[in-house]
């Protein structure tokens, strides 16, 4: 690829290296192949020289290269719940078609980004929540063309590395326990705010006494695909009231505590096929906490191992709301 400043009259067939705005307000965009009409417009505007790039035989134009890259990374757009959109020359966005969490082959993407400095695969964080219409990843060819050999290598290694994991659950049950008095409306509002971006419906919101018996009885009649328990008191042990109530109802507790703060005192379990999350006190507020990360994966059908939870610790110190 040859980059140079060239007289306008000799620029036909070359790619424009930078955007040029004419005195009329018209814009000739970076990456455009200069034609006779462009030469006329530039000459009329009094522009004598322009920066151009001339491709060589081993070069692939950026637009063509980024399209090939996208097709390799996401060969089946529908199955990946993504669509493609060319946002500017050499830059293509992969956009979510449904709410969910981002699913990436992180090691594969890192390998691709090592092949050539001009080929960039830029994504959201692994398992980050996105809504329909939001950009999941951006693919960029940084110069105006890239070497064919580098592109071929990336494309050969890049199959099926980016997708959206859509929300599979439809409804959620919230159970709050109280010690006298009434449950405030703030906590339920915060939960609804968490569900809305995921397209989830709060099927029922139950309030029961803070006792094993009352909570266990409520658990036996829930209708939601996922159950959230918000205890009157923060859970401090696997054998505290809320986890014991899950066991009393015939369920299991699989985890207590995660390396994220706020949100460390979350517990997880299940009753039959229904997943259960015990929420920390901070879930009464709308600010991000560690349980949000677990919940978002859970409703999207993403399995969560102890190793996955351990990985949350790096970057797990969150701002307090």
CATH code for the domain defined by 171-311 = 3.40.980.10
Q: What share of the chain has pLDDT > 90, as a percent?
A: 95
Q: What pLDDT is recorded for position 96?
A: 99
d(C-alpha 104, C-alpha 101), whole Å:
10
Q: What pLDDT is recorded for position 33?
A: 94
Mean per-residue pLDDT of the chain: 96
d(C-alpha 134, C-alpha 89), whole Å:
20
pTM of the model: 0.92
Domain with CATH 3.90.1170.30 in the chain: 59-166
State the average pLDDT over residues 89-101: 98
Token pair of 280, please?
């920390």
Domain with CATH 3.90.105.10 in the chain: 2-54
Domain with CATH 3.40.980.10 in the chain: 171-311
d(C-alpha 151, C-alpha 68), whole Å:
8
Mutual angle of helices 148-157 and 62-73, in 10-degree steps: 10
Q: What pLDDT is recorded for position 290?
A: 98
Q: What pLDDT is recorded for position 281?
A: 96
Q: What pLDDT is recorded for position 180?
A: 82
Q: In the structure, what pLDDT confidence band is assigned to residue 159 with cuts at 50, 70 and 90?
A: confident
pLDDT 10s digits, 259-299: 999 999 999 999 999 999 999 999 999 999 999 999 999 99
CA neighbor of 302 nearest in space, from 104, 62, 117: 104
Q: What pLDDT is recorded for position 320?
A: 87
State the average pLDDT over residues 180-200: 92
Q: What angle do CA 211, 214, 216 make, to 5 degrees?
A: 100
Q: How many CB atoms lie within 10 A of CB 246?
A: 24
Torsion of CA 202, 206, 211, 212, to 10 degrees: -60
State the average pLDDT over residues 116-133: 98
State the average pLDDT over residues 49-78: 96
State which CATH number among 3.20.20.140, 3.30.565.10, 3.90.1170.30, 2.40.110.10 fits the domain covering 59-166: 3.90.1170.30
Q: What pLDDT is recorded for position 177?
A: 98
State the average pLDDT over residues 133-157: 96
pLDDT 10s digits, 97-123: 999 999 999 999 999 999 999 999 999
Q: What pLDDT is recorded for position 157?
A: 86
pLDDT 10s digits, 255-269: 999 999 999 999 999
Does the pLDDT value for residue 198 go beyond 90? yes
Q: Answer with the residue of higher pLDDT: 181 or 271.
A: 271
State the average pLDDT over residues 190-213: 98
Q: What pLDDT is recorded for position 82?
A: 99
Q: What pLDDT is recorded for position 184?
A: 76
Contact 94, 162 (CB under 8 A): yes
Its CATH architecture, for the domain 2-54, is Alpha-Beta Complex (3.90)
Q: What residues form DSSP beta bridges with 280?
A: none
d(C-alpha 160, C-alpha 77), whole Å:
10
Does the pLDDT value for residue 65 go beyond 90? yes
State the average pLDDT over residues 67-83: 97
Does the pLDDT value for residue 181 go beyond 90? no
């Amino acid at each position: 690829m040859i980059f140079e400043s060239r007289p306008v009259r000799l620029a036909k067939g070359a790619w424009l290296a930078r955007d040029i705005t004419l005195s009329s307000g018209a814009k000739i965009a970076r990456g455009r192949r200069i034609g006779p009409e462009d030469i006329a417009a530039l000459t009329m505007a009094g522009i004598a020289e322009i920066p151009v790039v001339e491709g060589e035989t081993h070069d692939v134009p950026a637009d063509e290269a980024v399209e090939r890259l996208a097709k390799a990374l996401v060969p089946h757009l529908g199955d990946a719940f993504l669509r493609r959109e060319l946002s500017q020359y050499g830059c293509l966005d992969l956009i979510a078609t449904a709410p969910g969490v981002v699913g990436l082959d992180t090691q594969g993407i890192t390998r691709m980004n090592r092949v050539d400095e001009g080929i960039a695969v830029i994504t959201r964080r692994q398992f980050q929540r996105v809504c329909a219409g939001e950009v999941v990843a951006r693919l960029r060819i940084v110069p105006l063309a890239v070497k064919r050999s580098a592109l071929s290598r990336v494309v050969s290694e890049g199959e099926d590395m980016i997708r959206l994991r859509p929300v599979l659950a439809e409804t959620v049950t919230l159970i709050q326990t109280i010690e006298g008095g009434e449950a405030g409306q703030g906590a339920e509002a915060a939960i609804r705010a968490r569900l809305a971006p995921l397209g989830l419906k709060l099927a029922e919101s139950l309030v029961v006494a803070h006792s094993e018996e009352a909570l266990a009885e409520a658990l036996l009649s829930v209708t939601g695909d996922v159950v959230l328990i918000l205890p009157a008191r923060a859970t401090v042990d696997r054998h505290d009231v809320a986890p014991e109530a899950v066991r009393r109802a015939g369920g299991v507790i699989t985890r207590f505590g995660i390396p994220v703060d706020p949100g460390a005192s979350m517990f997880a379990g299940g009753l039959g096929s229904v997943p259960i999350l015990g929420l920390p006190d901070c879930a009464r507020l709308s600010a991000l906490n560690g349980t949000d990360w677990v919940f978002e994966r859970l409703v999207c059908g993403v399995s969560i191992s102890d190793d996955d939870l351990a990985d949350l610790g790096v970057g797990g110190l969150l701002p307090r709301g």
